[in-house]
Structure 1
């Protein structure tokens, strides 16, 4: 009952931090059906491309043992070892392409679902993995019910496919009883290819559903309560590194916005390289000029360069620039004490034309 209440209280989506922590611990969404489907496709490819030729090579290599077993030399231990390695080599040549295809299919299925990462947490011994209570919970929990439903579906689908396939190939199977023995392997291979192909087609829908469900279930397990969200926010806000990073980002955004506003300034008052203040004045509405940007040293040089590149007049007044830099803030009207000197500069600009600041 408490577990159900806990799940009901998790109403908030998982934060980026919780998702990142889960990924670092190896807790990733994973569909077993996708891996199984990749294995089936690998079996189908192996049967279609390798089983026939490799079986012929294997039977040809073993024919001398089967046709004349009495002629095999076994007089010493060396003869037995040589016979073993010969049989092992033939079997390895038969199985190696099939094993490689199956391994490649499973690897591709895993890589397509998640990025590969080394996680020691997944191999660390944990009591929950061997605990009977935890195992009982996994079997009879929500995930256990879903896995049971998928198993029932796969069993029913495979059984139906086998029945239909055997019924359609009934005549061929009965006819094989009176055919040459060397024709039976090709018949069995054809039936196996048809069977695996039908199973692959039947499980495509299950794989697609399981891929979606695995991710939705993973997200649901990571959901957070409102209290967990608050605690995580407090921890993040209290971290000096995080706070410094947030302040840095805020300053960077403010500086970027300030530089973007310089081209629409009416004038820039400079000193001449140490300070720069960009002002905007609306001749129609009147009122006090608005501070669009201000900066010292390198920022002042950048403000001046942007202004000059966009044709904004730059007026050099050392005392005024220095005094205004300490007294004004960006996105505010200039204080009343600067009305008169700024008004003189504006009158000078409007009276002399666009070349007045040059």
Structure 2
């Protein structure tokens, strides 16, 4: 019974408390699981619609005034016909489309920009393929009455109520002026309508920006929470990832790069570099107080040999050309290993030569 309780508690301990790994995030993105705030998109759209309305109003009002005069001057004809009515409607709708085009275009463009800024371009053709699971009525009903759907519906109702109140409050203050539009000329009426629209949209956009920022933070928090992993999931992912040939190759390549970088950092600490002048290079270190025998701190072939030689020359390390010894050292010891006994005499002669050049006291007895 005790064993059963211990196992049960361990299972309950597997909570999703670990941050998502890069692979988990990439897989979620490939499935189309991304986060974005539609409230923020709406706020940006409305805000730039106000700016477009302000900037393009003069041109739009002139266009409306001109086209309105043309339309109304044709009313009514001596004998109204269906063709005449269609032409008038076409002119009216064309005028409305032309007048609203800059505002609609600005709103759409910046809405698209706000979406891309949040999630980037994440077009996945695979998500467009038919999937019966998406049209499952039972699953659809479950999503419709889920906690998330109810929360979204409630937030939307609250936002609609607040936006409606802001619009009503703005219109209430200017209602006397709006009621006098019938006695105003066309140009002044358009100016008043523009001012009212600006006030309504600006008040609403300020509120939407505030709620959009809050919604963005909330969506990010929910998204991060949905991607969190258990320690077991992280371990399983590591096993699965590291077992792939391409990942193993990448890890080995990275390890070789790090080892080579550390090796190159040891070249300036060497006492001598034995070369063959372009194909082989072996850097040796010998500290009598810590090394029982000379140690190979770096070695390389061809391009790597040239790099070792260049670093040695730049660091003031002596470079000695001895092709047979360079080849023998390269084959006899790896980086970090001491040279074999059969090379003691040859290396001792090289070190003695280096010490004579540098003016150091020759080493005694260690390599004899």
Structure 1 length-normalised TM? 0.82
C-alpha displacement of 1:250: 1.5
Contact 1:48 1:193 in 2 (8 A): yes
Note the 1:122-271 alignment, pairs <5 A.
Answer: 122-169=127-174, 171-173=176-178, 176=180, 179-180=183-184, 182=186, 184-271=189-276
Contact 2:61 2:190 in 1 (8 A): no
Aligned residue number for residue 305 of structure 1 = 310
Q: Specify which of 324, 338, 346 is matched with residue 319 of structure 1.
A: 324
C-alpha displacement of 1:324: 2.1
Aligned residue number for residue 76 of structure 2 = 70
Contact 1:52 1:189 in 2 (8 A): no
Q: Take 1:139 and 1:10, find their aligned partners in 2: how far apart are those partners?
A: 26
Contact 1:165 1:195 in 2 (8 A): yes
C-alpha displacement of 1:7: 12
Q: Could you list the per-position Cα deviations for residues 273-331 of structure 1 after superposition, in whole angstroms to 9, with x for gaps in the alignment?
A: 33221012235656433321011233223222322233211223333322322221212
Contact 1:14 1:222 in 2 (8 A): yes
Q: Take 1:81 and 1:38, find their aligned partners in 2: how far apart are those partners?
A: 37
Q: Take 1:163 and 1:228, find their aligned partners in 2: how far apart are those partners?
A: 53
Q: Take 2:181 and 2:310, find their aligned partners in 1: how far apart are those partners?
A: 94
Aligned Cα root-mean-square deviation (Å)? 3.3
C-alpha displacement of 1:220: 2.0
Q: Take 2:178 and 2:85, find their aligned partners in 1: how far apart are those partners?
A: 40
Aligned residue number for residue 19 of structure 1 = 25
Q: Take 2:295 and 2:285, find their aligned partners in 1: how far apart are those partners?
A: 5
Q: Could you list the per-position Cα deviations for residues 128-150 of structure 1 after superposition, in whole angstroms to 9, with x for gaps in the alignment?
A: 43334333443444532442343
Pair 1:8–1:273, CA change in 2 (3 A): closer
- Can you give the 5+ residue segments of structure 2 that lack an aligned partner in the other structure? 1-10, 361-368
Q: Take 1:56 and 1:73, find their aligned partners in 2: how far apart are those partners?
A: 30
Q: Take 2:102 and 2:80, find their aligned partners in 1: how far apart are those partners?
A: 31
Pair 1:127–1:17, CA change in 2 (3 A): same
C-alpha displacement of 1:34: 1.5
1:39 aligns with 2:45: yes
Pair 1:127–1:52, CA change in 2 (3 A): farther
Q: Take 1:6 and 1:76, find their aligned partners in 2: how far apart are those partners?
A: 76
Structure 2 length-normalised TM? 0.80
Pair 1:31–1:8, CA change in 2 (3 A): farther
Contact 2:49 2:104 in 1 (8 A): no
Q: Specify which of 94, 99, 119 is matched with residue 94 of structure 1.
A: 99
Q: Take 1:72 and 1:101, find their aligned partners in 2: how far apart are those partners?
A: 42
Pair 1:162–1:53, CA change in 2 (3 A): same
SS in 2 for 1:207: helix
Q: Take 1:272 and 1:46, find their aligned partners in 2: how far apart are those partners?
A: 72
Aligned residue number for residue 60 of structure 1 = 66
Contact 1:65 1:72 in 2 (8 A): no
Q: Take 1:80 and 1:16, find their aligned partners in 2: how far apart are those partners?
A: 63
SS in 2 for 1:252: helix
C-alpha displacement of 1:33: 0.7
C-alpha displacement of 1:228: 2.9
Q: Take 2:296 and 2:14, find their aligned partners in 1: how far apart are those partners?
A: 52
C-alpha displacement of 1:190: 2.3
